[in-house]
A and B are shown apart, each in its own frame.
Chain A
Amino acid sequence: MTKGKNELCDEAIGLLVTYRCNLNCKYCYVHSKKPKEMTLEMAQSILEPFLMKQGGFLDIKFYGGETLMSFTLIKQLVEWVESKTWNRKYRFFGSTNGTLLNNEMKEWFMDHSKLVTMGLSFDGLPDVQLENRGSINIDIDYFISTWPQQTIQMTINTSSVNRMAEGIIYLLEKGAKVHPNVAFEEYEWEDKYILEYCKQLDILADYYSKHEKAPIIIQFEHKLEEYARSLDNHHPQVQVCGAGHGFHVYDVDGSKYPCHLLSPLVLETNQLNMVNKGEIEHAKDFADSKCANCPYTSSCPTCLGCNLIYRNDIRNRDLTHCKIMRAEVRAFIKKEVTRLKKKEVLDSFDAARIAAIRKIYDYEKCHSLL
């Protein structure tokens, strides 16, 4: 880890504060929302040893269910932590659908906005949000003004992909930063949806060419030089998230799991047994043989939890996100070529980028996306 990274985040833990949720989103991976809650005493007993340890920042993340269903717990816990002296700095984060946010919560979060960040999940256009999530009773502007650096999580699925660009632009125009991501689901996307995703990326590339200062979305951030190097010297497939290695989630009863997906919130007994036997913590091999020659494994959007849930093996990556990733690399190449063509003077960094673009282009040309 670099110095900068240590300063940012030294240790992270998650608290599964509630299994309950007031919505029933189309793509949700939680299929039985049981009435299980974490108590304040349990949360305190989990946090205390972490806060007493010497170290850098402690990131504490609230998971649900819908986290605001446990607002009282969150409020009491944060105020309890604030009231004491600890051996390290800390900060809190929770994601929320935003529908339960009332004036009392708004006021409290406003007072604690430097310490507690709430990340809103909202699917772009209001009617898409309504169709996917069933509610648009959300004060988006509050989230944007209270936490301007926090991205709005915009989930995309097959029924909303044809309005992806419109939705992203809608949120960008409201002043939000946007994190669009494709939902992990049981079924692969058909080619027509992948092609639609490509089309939407082209619309977005065109938007960004006319709005150069708009906050960039992650779809247009790719380490082309790293990918190009990987074509000559393939990177080993490493774990791409912190689940079980540097990060754990604590269930309502205090039990520890690698992440919220790999916990009783989502998993049935058989798969949970695999997790309880240390399937993740003891795993050293995260390689999927079908990805052996892929140049993009260092940035692969695979999810260990979803691999286990849908394919019964943490290593078995899905093909939809592979195609999505490659569609993004292709769109980014097109966007970069357009940008570089406009430059009056090209420098040494541009030369490196152009060399990488050539290598990735030649690779993609020989490997059909569909």
Chain B
Amino acid sequence: MDDELLNNDANLGGDTLNNPLDPFPSSLDIDITSLQTDVVDITPEEPQEEHDFDATRKMCPTRHGCQGATDCDYCGGDYPG
């Protein structure tokens, strides 16, 4: 593991602009602008509250694989029932 970084605060790096390796295509900018033009006359409306979910589906955004057993605010359970 010599070539890996120790997982702690000491390795925090500052954000930098325009990193050539940064995998976020600037061409996307044009597409987003085009979409913005397409909806310029439409009043934005956000979907219902986040808890309006499909009851059979796991909706845990914490992504660490709790498998839906905990009663946290983010977990909708994932049981077939």
Chain A interface residues (CB < 8 Å from chain B): 1-2, 4-5, 7-12, 14, 59, 61, 91, 93, 95, 113-114, 117, 119, 147-151, 153, 155, 158, 179, 181-182, 184-191, 195, 198-199, 218, 221-223, 225-226, 238-243, 245-247, 259, 290, 298-303, 306, 310-311, 316, 318-321, 325, 327, 330, 333-334, 337, 340-341, 346-352, 354-355, 357-358, 361, 364-370
Contact = CB atoms under 8 A, between A and B. Distances in A.
B5 A187 contact: yes
Contacts of B66: 241-242
A346 B62 contact: no
Dominant secondary structure at the A interface: mixed
Given A149-B56, A348-B42, A369-B23, A95 B50 contact: no
A246 B4 contact: no
B77 A59 contact: yes
Interface residues on B, range: 35 or more
Nearest to A355: B44
A347 B9 CA distance: 44
Contacts of B81: 91, 114
Contacts of A158: 4
Contacts of B17: 366, 368
Given A218-B63, A221-B61, A370-B22, 9 more contacts: A187-B6, A240-B74, A306-B64, A334-B28, A346-B42, A364-B24, A367-B15, A368-B16, A368-B19
Nearest to B72: A242
Nearest to B45: A348
Contact of A301 (B19, B34, B64): B64
A306 B78 CA distance: 23
Given A2-B49, A302-B62, A348-B45, A149 B19 contact: no
Contacts of B63: 181-182, 218, 299, 301, 321, 325
A369 B22 contact: yes
